[in-house]
């Protein structure tokens, strides 16, 4: 446990400025996502009149007060205001916790009809990690490492758990191309019911025609999920990130299920953006220095 704690909560970079840059990029994305979902859910809640399918906190706390009025939009305004104050460095340490509570209330009110989406899972997880980090840590460096470490830990654990649940429910024959063909057919019905039109893309046509191709795709996806815990290690993080992004892209192309938020957050967390930024700045500095020398020689 101590080794895992040291692995997850150690500094991601040798330079404090690099760690700050990566954390601010991560926090900016999470806060932007929180604002986006808050307003989109608030607009959707206006179309709902009753809590038919209680979820989460709605099973214990009545949320009928959120229907038929502007309270969801008031929550969205508070979330937006707090997000801007956080990014400006002028918010209270419990601001993330307030965003978490309000965002969860909006989520359970929005999903009251039983249609449960997964696109905001990583955003909600990250807001929780930020809330815990800011509430429990006093130093900025500790907060950064706590927030990033918790987020990466539960993302890795989530992927492994998803793979194990598939194997427990269906067994080792889960990656069967027949299963993928069946799921594509189910999505076809949903799409026709929603739009009246369905046209399979080339990848879907290949899976429906050649079940072995579907087996390979499902096998790749299951392997990627089982290896999800490798995101805990800095040396493996970029590679497993790209593997998971490829998996989600495959799901989007075959099942028409969008994972835009998942993919963006994986890329932001898993790739070494500060290192790339430094290399670009060094290159620009070298080019600029070379031009100055050439201009000086030309003037002489």
| pLDDT tens digits along 121-179 | 999 999 999 999 999 988 999 999 999 999 999 999 999 999 999 999 999 999 999 99
Which residue's entry shows tokens 């949320």? 63
* DSSP H or E run through 161: helix 140-170
- Three-state secondary structure string covering 194-228: HHCCCCCCHHHHHHHHCHHHHHHHHHHHHHHHHCH
Quick check: 297 pLDDT over 80?
A: no
Question: pTM of the predicted model, to two decimals?
Answer: 0.90
Is residue 182 classed as helix, strand or coil in its secondary structure? Answer: helix
For the chain, the structural domain boundaries read 2-168
Residue in 133, 160, 138, 167 with CA at minimum distance from that of residue 149 = 133
Is residue 1 classed as helix, strand or coil in its secondary structure? Answer: coil
- Three-state secondary structure string covering 115-149: CCCCCCHHHHHHHHHHHHHHHHCCCHHHHHHHHHH
End-to-end CA distance of the chain: 66
Q: At what angle do helices 140-170 and 16-45 cross, to 10 degrees?
A: 60
Q: Is residue 13 within 8 Å of 22, Cβ to Cβ?
A: yes
| Residue 191 CB coordination number (10 Å) | 15
Q: Is residue 57 within 8 Å of 109, Cβ to Cβ?
A: no
Q: Is residue 189 within 8 Å of 215, Cβ to Cβ?
A: no
pLDDT digits (tens, 9 = 90+) for 178-220: 999 999 988 888 888 888 888 889 999 999 999 999 999 999 9
Summarize the confidence of residues 12-33 as an average pLDDT: 93
């Amino acid at each position: 446990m101590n080794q895992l704690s040291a692995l997850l909560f150690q500094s991601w970079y040798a330079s404090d400025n690099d760690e700050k840059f990566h954390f601010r990029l991560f926090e900016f994305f999470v806060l932007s996502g929180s604002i986006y979902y808050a307003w989109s859910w608030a607009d959707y809640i206006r179309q709902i009149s009753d809590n038919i399918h209680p979820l989460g906190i709605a099973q214990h706390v009545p949320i009928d007060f959120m229907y038929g009025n502007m309270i969801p939009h008031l929550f969205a305004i508070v979330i937006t205001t707090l997000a801007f104050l956080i990014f400006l460095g002028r918010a209270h340490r419990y601001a993330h916790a307030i965003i978490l509570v309000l965002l969860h209330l909006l989520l359970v009110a929005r999903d009251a009809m039983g249609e449960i989406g997964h696109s905001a899972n990583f955003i909600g997880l990250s807001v929780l990690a930020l809330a815990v980090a800011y509430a429990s840590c006093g130093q900025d460096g500790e907060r950064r490492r706590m927030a990033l470490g918790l987020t990466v830990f539960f993302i890795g654990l989530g992927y492994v758990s998803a793979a194990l649940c598939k194997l427990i429910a269906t067994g080792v024959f889960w990656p069967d191309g027949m299963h993928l063909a069946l799921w594509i057919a189910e999505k076809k019905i949903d799409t026709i019911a929603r739009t009246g039109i369905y046209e399979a893309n080339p990848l879907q046509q290949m899976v429906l025609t050649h079940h072995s191709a579907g087996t390979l795709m499902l096998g790749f996806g299951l392997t990627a999920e089982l290896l999800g815990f490798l995101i805990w290690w800095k040396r493996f993080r970029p590679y497993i990130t790209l593997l998971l992004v490829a998996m989600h892209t495959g799901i989007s192309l075959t099942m028409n299920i969008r994972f835009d938020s998942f993919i963006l957050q994986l890329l932001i967390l898993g790739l070494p953006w500060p290192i790339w930024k430094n290399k670009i700045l060094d290159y620009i500095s070298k080019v600029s220095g070379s031009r100055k020398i050439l201009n000086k020689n030309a003037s002489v």
